Amino acid sequence: MDIERDRFNYAEYYPDSPIAVLFGGIKQTRLTVEEALTCYFEATKRTVASSTWRDYKSAVRYQLIPAF
């Protein structure tokens, strides 16, 4: 119901999530590109096929993070 009322607080529902900073509820002044990519990468681990996750892991670690 909170989503329908536009009152959903990700950090409240998932307090131990490393990506809570990305969705609000936890104040942090700065989030580096590496931190954001790492959070995204970890969040996708259980949502995609293992071969896709391996490709993401490679792209994040060896292409995206070094570029920033």
Query: What is the pLDDT, as a whole number, of residue 17?
Result: 74
13 in the same domain as 43: no
CA distance 4 to 57: 34
- Percent of the chain scoring above 70 in pLDDT: 66
Query: What is the pLDDT, as a whole number, of residue 56?
Result: 87
Q: How many domains does the chain have?
A: 2
36 in the same domain as 19: no
22 in the same domain as 4: yes
Amino acid letter at 43?
Answer: A
Res. 33 pLDDT band, cuts 50 70 90: confident
Mean of the per-residue pLDDT values for the chain? 77
37 in the same domain as 24: no
68 in the same domain as 36: yes
Sign of CA dihedral 27, 23, 61, 50: positive
Q: Residue 39 sits in which domain range?
A: 32-68
Higher-scoring residue by pLDDT: 37, 3: 37
pLDDT tens for 38-66 read 888 888 888 889 999 899 889 988 998 88
